[in-house]
Structure 1
Amino acid sequence: MESATTIRDHLESYLKRERMSISLFSELSGINSGTLSNILNKNRPISMQQLDRITAAMQLDEGYYYELYIEECFVHSTPDWRRLGPFLHRCAELDKLNCIEEVIRLMMDNLSYIPLLFEVAEEFYGGGKFKAAVLLYETIAESEKMQHSERLALCQYRLFKLGLGKDRQKNLIIASRFEYYVDRLDERYQLDALNELINAFGALHRWMKVQELSEKLKVKAKVHYELNGRNKQEETKKPIIFYILYSDLAAGSALYHLKEYDRALDFVSRYADSSWVKQPDEEERIVMHQFQEWAEGNRYVYQLMAGRFEVLPDYVGYISNRENEVFPALCDIVTAANRYDMNIDFVLEKFKSHLSYQEQSNRIGKVSKQVTDDRYVRLMGGLASYYLRKDDFIKGLQYALNSMKFALEIHDGRGMLKSIGLFEQYRDYATDEAMQQYKNLISEVQKLNDEEVCFADSHV
């Protein structure tokens, strides 16, 4: 395709080359022959639907002429939203992100398009066209960065949700950037946004930040509950009581990780008690029951971490009847066993099917992937320490390699350093195969370090 030619030139050449009449092409494309004549004679512009039909009739790939369409309809003439809107939607369907980028760059000369672009971005978001949505949200956020609009805050919220992934370093940047905007959100989004921010910072072990955000979540949720009762806001995912109870659970979890077990147990009592809920409906009863279960389980955990291993059999009995609680429980049981040099072979044997990575959920909903990733790398590292302490070098070093590999995938520097330290400490007991795996992973770590230096330089 030559940029000097137009879509009409290509169509005209095709008809001549194929010795095809307008009438026949009309039948193939489903476009009225009079309309085709007017298009060829430059008496009418080409619509998106017509362009797609022409492309299909010429047996070309979908979107083949989109770059040329941009040149003709948006560069050399005033952009018309009646064409721009459908064009953006088709580009999103075909994943032609380069075309979307080019078009929205042209549109930024006219700020009146911002509200329309935002509507399209929300449609993309709701329809699962996330890559296309990100391009629009980024452009809108950049154009409104000096303003304090709710639209800017919502763009940042969407970018936060869509940006979180396996890379922990990038997750920290994304979460920290969004925190600045969370209070600017429309109230109907704030509770879920704070809940998701807490999960993001928790997965990054930023426990002081978790405490701060938990207090903010509790204040906002309680005010809403006192004013509106159980009524959910339009965009709130869960009953309001969830956010009140979750704020205490998150605060208690932060204290637990800060090794303040007595204070953590005080928070357990708070989210175990839901007697203040007024005439709970079925959905609220499900939430209340889930938090009561978590309270029971966390009491065991906090006692274990304080060295009271006599509660372990009861804790094992508790999780045996609760499939969704096994994986997080194993993470804590292994940590406690390593801290107090206890034998937990019977627990690991009983729940060995839960030692592989799998998405987690509970009766309330799906567990954040970032939280699951953090737990998994912690579990692999904990198992490495456990078996190496027992002189089971083959199993222990393999878990160290597994931990190192997964930590590398999620860019978890702490997890990588721990697994490297363990392997180095016991490398004299490693098999040739394990040593080769280790060398390969170390090579990947070096590549990652080089990439992160470049990434950091680009954000200076």
Structure 2
Amino acid sequence: MWGAQGTLYRSLRSEIEQNRKKNGYTLSKLGELTGINPGSLSEILNGNPPRAITIGQLDALAKVFGHDPGWLYELYTEECILEGRISRPRLIPYLIRCVEVGRKDCIEATVPQMMENPKNISILFALAEQLYEKGQLKESVPFYKYVIENEKDSYSDHFVMSQYRLFRVVLGTNAEENWESVIQFSPYRNRLPENYQLDALFQLARVCYALQKRNKSGEYGDELRLLAETVYIHELDRLKRNRKGEPLKTERHLVYYYGMGHLYKGAALEMQGLYEEAKQHVKGYADLGWFGLLDEVGRKDVERFKVWAKANSYTLEVLSGDTDVLEEYVDYLESLSTIDVLAGLNAIMKSANTYHFYVDEILERFASQIASFDQFTEAIGLDRHLRFRYQMAIYEFGKGRIERGIEETIYCLSLADLMNRHDETLTYIALFGWLGNMNKRIGNQNKFGG
């Protein structure tokens, strides 16, 4: 088909018709091969006006004609957008298929057409949500970004939820990217509905803890605990007054958010060396059996917090220099998961370096667990592993075991590089100062016949 300027004009139907004739298929035969009713095919190709074709039907035709998935997708937009009017039932499946077959070019060409009418932001958001719910998290990112870039009202539900989803999706092990995500999302956290706000605060506290942003982690822990308390009171009041309405739907049980608020606040205080203050928050989640609204999930969370509280109580005692509980603490660690063993050994190593006592036997006792610390690929596990290796380097250098100290220092540098925490590199390089100090002492001893 030729256009007014003498250029070849390709249309969806002309291409389909050319392929049908090229293969010698009648409409009846083509319908048999594709599973599309021949009458519908006739209306699609010859109707006046022609019947719209679905993306599924186009895919079926592509398969019969021997073309790759995504065939003619660049022409399909005309089925979805005509004279500024959008067919939502066709557009969303089309864009989802573009994602699935990698036709990014079609997405980039279609979105600007949609954004000629700002009301169509809701379609992009609905599409992003569909991908998110299907577990296609990375694929949802561009669409949430489109919403953020085109929505002028920063208080709109679509805008705020897109910020939240984007925050959740992009979190990984890269420290710089995680911190940028916190900065980008945190101003909008209080604009979320309460059920999402609870999880947002939990994630913010968690990420900041892994980034060693102790003040921020503590602040978000406080906010999380206070919000959980408020929601808890409202839910109890609703039940007491027999008010209608569904209970607040949250990703985790409400008791979990309350306990984690205390836990992250306590952890932040611990990182600052404020051990007595931290103990008060450990008490806050040590026994949450009083918490109402508990179901089976909630009761399991209560038991988990009991375990964590006992471990963290030992941790704070050891960090305070109480070596009398050390043996008891080590026995208890053997009953915990590897990630909790890592946290416990961190505390023991830090205390050993602060108060100058030997823990060689303890390290030997947990040798198999220590050898498996490389299994951690998530932010908090990697952060704990890095801190453990740092304390190990200090310990080994302090005991005069130079070769081991060097190995642990190199381990620190490797983990820091993996997590993109290059700002900490000088801290780990400074560990080599142990070598200079030791060589200087040895030189002085030789000089004076020591």
- Taking the aligned partners of 2:45 and 2:435, their CA distance within structure 1 comes to 76
8 Å CA contact retained: 1:100, 1:132: no
Question: TM-score scaled to structure 2, two decimals?
Answer: 0.83
Residue pair 2:317, 2:325 contacting (<8 A) in 1 also: yes
- Listed one character per residue, the Cα deviations across residues 286-309 of structure 1 (whole Å, up to 9, x for unaligned) are 222222222221121112222222
1:420 aligns with 2:429: yes
1:220 to 227, 235, 248: 227
Tell me the equivalent position of 1:144.
151
2:315 matches 1:301: yes
Residue of structure 2 in register with 1:411 after alignment = 420
Q: Distance in 2 between matches of 1:113 and 1:315?
A: 59
Asked whether the 8 Å contact 2:396–2:405 carries over to 1, the reply is yes
Structure 1 unpaired stretches of 5+: 361-367, 430-460
Distance 1:150-1:79 versus aligned 2 partners, 3 A rule: closer
1:266 is aligned to 2:280: yes
| Structure 2 CA distance for partners of 1:70 and 1:288, relative to 1, 3 Å | same
Distance 1:299 1:46, change over 3 A: same
Provide closer, same or farther for how the CA distance between residues 78 and 281 of structure 1 changes in structure 2, counting only shifts above 3 A: closer
Letter of the aligned partner of 2:330 in structure 1? V
Which region of structure 1 is more displaced relative to structure 2, 345-354 or 37-46? 37-46
RMSD of aligned alpha carbons: 3.1
Residue pair 1:95, 1:132 contacting (<8 A) in 2 also: no
- The 5 Å alignment of 1:186-335 reads 186-229=193-236, 233-274=247-288, 276-278=290-292, 280-324=294-338, 325-335=340-350
Equivalent residue in structure 2 for 1:133, among 119, 140, 152: 140
- Following the alignment from structure 1 to structure 2, what is the Cα–Cα distance between the partners of residues 23 and 278? 66
Show the 5 A alignment for 1:74-113. 74=81, 78-113=85-120
Aligned to 1:450: none
Q: Per-residue deviation at 1:51?
A: 0.9
Matched, 1:369 2:383: no
Judge which range, 47-56 or 87-96, deviates more.
Answer: 87-96
Amino acid at match of 1:397: I
Q: For 2:321, what is the secondary structure of its paired residue?
A: coil
By how many angstroms is 1:23 displaced?
4.0
**3-state SS, counterpart of residue 216 of structure 1:** helix
Q: 1:448 maps to what in 2?
A: none
> What pairs up with 1:363-402 in 2 under 5 angstroms?
369-402=378-411
Deviation at residue 179 of structure 1 after TM alignment: 1.2
Distance in 1, matches of 2:316 and 2:423, equals 23
One-letter code aligned to 2:33: L
Contact 1:92 1:129 in 2 (8 A): no
- Which residue in 1 is equivalent to 2:182? 175
Q: Provide closer, same or farther for how the CA distance between residues 390 and 419 of structure 1 changes in structure 2, counting only shifts above 3 A.
A: same
What's the counterpart of residue 31 of structure 2? 26
Q: Counterparts of 1:16 and 1:354 in 2: how far apart (Å)?
A: 68
Choose from 58, 75, 82 the match for 1:68.
Answer: 75
| C-alpha spacing 1:49/1:277, structure 2 compared with 1 (3 Å) | closer
**CA separation of 1:359/1:109 partners in 2, compared to 1, >3 Å: closer, same or farther?**
farther
State the 1:53 CA deviation: 0.8
Mark the CA change 1:8 to 1:329 in structure 2 (over 3 Å): closer, same or farther.
same
Structure-2 separation of matches of 1:94 and 1:15: 23
Which is worse superposed, 383-392 or 165-174? 383-392
Read off the aligned partner of 1:384 and give its amino acid letter: A
Q: How many residue pairs are counted as aligned between the two chains?
A: 421
Distance 2:295 2:20 in 1: 68
**One-letter code aligned to 1:135:** P
Task: Return the match for 1:349 from 364, 375, 378.
Answer: 364
Seen in structure 2, the aligned counterparts of structure 1 residues 133 and 398 have a Cα distance that, compared at 3 Å, is same
CA distance in 2, matches of 1:89, 1:396: 53
AA matched with 2:97: R
Displacement of 1:39 after TM fit? 4.2
Distance apart, 1:275 and its partner CA: 5.8
Provide closer, same or farther for how the CA distance between residues 385 and 67 of structure 1 changes in structure 2, counting only shifts above 3 A: farther
User: Amino acid of the residue matched to residue 378 of structure 1?
Assistant: R
Alpha-carbon distance change, 39 to 263 in structure 1, aligned in 2, over 3 angstroms: same
**Worse overlay, 263-272 or 124-133:** 263-272
SS at match of 1:166: coil
1:6 aligns with 2:32: no
Per the TM alignment, residue 333 of structure 1 is displaced from its structure 2 partner at its CA by: 2.1
How far does the alpha carbon of each residue in 1:326-364 deviate from its partner, in whole angstroms, 9 at most, with x for none?
12212222222233333222222222232234667xxxx
Q: Encode CA deviations 1:117-149: one digit per residue, 9 max, x unaligned.
A: 322222211111112321221111222243412
Deviation at 1:38, TM superposition (A): 4.6
The 1:57/1:222 distance shift into structure 2, 3 A limit, reads same
User: How far 1:40 moved relative to its partner?
Assistant: 4.3
Moved more, 11-20 or 46-55: 11-20
Distance 2:32 2:171 in 1: 49
**Cα distance in structure 2, aligned partners of 1:300 and 1:261:** 11
Worse overlay, 56-65 or 36-45:
36-45
Counterpart residue identity of residue 303, structure 2: H
- Once residues 396 and 427 of structure 1 are traced to their aligned partners in structure 2, the CA distance between those partners, rounded to angstroms, is 13
Give 1:77 shift.
Answer: 6.9
> Partners of 1:301 and 1:347 in 2: how far apart?
15
